[in-house]
Amino acid sequence: MSQETDIPDLPTEITPQSQDFGRWYIDVVRRAELADYSPVKGCMVIRPYGYAIWELMQQALDKRFKATGHVNAYFPLFIPESLLMKEAEHVQGFAPQVAWVTQGGNEVLEERLVVRPTSETIIGTMYAKWVHSWRDLPILINQWANVVRWEKVTRLFLRTTEFLWQEGHTAHETAEEAQEETMKMLGIYKEFAETELAMPVIEGQKSESEKFAGAVNTYSIEALMRDGRALQAGTSHNLGQNFARVFDIKFQARDKSVQFVYGTSWGVSTRMIGAVIMTHGDDGGLILPPRIAPYQVVIVPIPRGNWKETVLPKAQTIRDDLVARGVRVMLDDRDTQTPGWKYNEWELRGVPLRLEIGPKDIEKSQVVLARRDTREKSFVPMDGLTPKVEEMLAAIQKALYDRAVQFREEHTTAADTYAEFKAVMDGRPGFVISPWCGSATCEADIKAETQATIRNIPFTSAPATGKTCIKCDGAAIALAWFAKSY
């Protein structure tokens, strides 16, 4: 197998990351046709190519939810005002972000409805009706839904007024079971992110001020984007008995006493698509991990002479062989575009592997394979092609993950003093691991002065014994991971 060293420059149509990362992101989303702005302020249209990525993510997640005993259901989009108002902390957290429905047809509603920002309240109300005995537990329900949060500042995929997500809502007999569920689902998110999205994440606990409104504890997975900012990619909440008390979700326990259930909720959203873009993309556009790429291989036939009688049938055969093995393939046989144009287009859209085939290849019974991640080209014999393609897709998946891990390691720094901390945040941003005293005041001051927030306190974080808070010099309770975030 020979390698071509002559890799052409990346196209210039997309703003380079180094010039303006935010602009680069928007350019990629729009040029790759993942999404577009809609006529509705703050809302986006997810285009077929972007939606195909979401569908692949959904399938991968749904499979995992089912495998751990969860079932899907669907709850209403509208929530009566009185339900939302029941849990004090929850209301306070979401009130500024809810959209109200005040009128139906021509009639003013007696009770206003909110468009769900999340469904704890309406699901809790139903659980109260369904749970009577410890034998009814646990309830392990997930729903795939849209939610609406009135946002002042929106960004495609990362924060839009309406977005798609899944929200799991479970009810358990004991506090221990609820905590176990909370951790299990966070673990599933981590495993999903790492194996399907090739995106390494840090699992940990949120600080009190970053916690979900109404939860006892919130845990998150945090990923590092290529501009050095962190992105919360998924959350899992232990709700304790907070919602159970308010919604009266009671059951008769094994000891005949009446108890409130222990709840959890957990979710990931279409924001994950933004995370993938900003984890793997380069100046040439999108780079998709093979496992969630709508097209894993694009076949570009070289149209020359009577190619429709020679090259094209061979390309079709190759496609059929790959499809038979479950590989997602696009055969780009348009004769309105040149091969070079197609190379650039599909690279921009992140297709992991390109297969070129022309008359010369047919003579030699070979094809050209070009990797999107390294942009390396190689000649591969037609014989044994399918296994070779599968092998390369797996190699790309792994390479993307390894590269992302390396990037994160290179952009993670420990800082025991505030001076060091600020130096890193001003310089090359990323995660900074620092001792923290646990005070919300210190946390807020650090944010005000450096824009960095506590992303989470990883489970694997070393104990902070003997260390002092970078802000107030008080005894540290933990080594927290700080970063500027999306």
Partner RNA sequence: CGGGGCGUGGCUCAGCCUGGUAGAGCACUCGGUUCGGGACCGAGGGGUCGAAGGUUCAAAUCCUUUCGCCCCGACCA
Q: Which residues bind RNA (CB under 7 A)?
A: 7-8, 11, 13, 22-23, 26, 37, 40-42, 93, 96-97, 149, 151-155, 158-161, 163, 165, 212, 220, 232-233, 235, 267, 269-271, 284, 302-304, 335-336, 338-341, 343-345, 347-348, 354, 356-361, 367-368, 370, 375, 377, 447, 451, 485
Min dist. Cβ of residue 420 to RNA (A)? 21
Cβ closer to RNA: 315 or 400?
A: 315
Q: What are phi and psi of 90, to 5 degrees?
A: -60, -50
* 305/326 Cα distance (integer angstroms): 32
- Residue type for 331, please? L
Min dist. Cβ of residue 102 to RNA (A)? 18
193 contacts 221 by C-beta, under 8 angstroms: yes
Cβ closer to RNA: 38 or 174?
A: 38
* 428/466 Cα distance (integer angstroms): 28
Min dist. Cβ of residue 83 to RNA (A)? 20
Dihedral of the CA atoms 26, 29, 33, 34 (nearest 10)? -140
Residues in Cβ contact with 343 at an 8 Å cutoff, skipping those fewer than 6 apart:
300, 354, 370
Cβ closer to RNA: 261 or 370?
A: 370
> Whose CA is closest to 132, among 171, 170, 161, 166?
171
Cβ closer to RNA: 271 or 408?
A: 271
> Whose CA is closest to 442, among 432, 431, 454?
454
352 contacts 373 by C-beta, under 8 angstroms: yes
Cβ closer to RNA: 160 or 434?
A: 160
194 membership: H or E segment, kind and range: helix 175-195
Min dist. Cβ of residue 361 to RNA (A)? 4
Cβ closer to RNA: 320 or 335?
A: 335
Cβ closer to RNA: 29 or 126?
A: 29
Cβ closer to RNA: 121 or 235?
A: 235
Q: What are phi and psi of 206, to 5 degrees?
A: -80, 155
Min dist. Cβ of residue 135 to RNA (A)? 33
Cis, peptide link before residue 138, omega less than 30° from 0? yes
Residues in Cβ contact with 50 at an 8 Å cutoff, skipping those fewer than 6 apart:
29, 33, 34, 35, 157, 273
- Edge to edge, the sheet with strand 99-104 lists 78-80, 107-115, 99-104
Min dist. Cβ of residue 1 to RNA (A)? 14
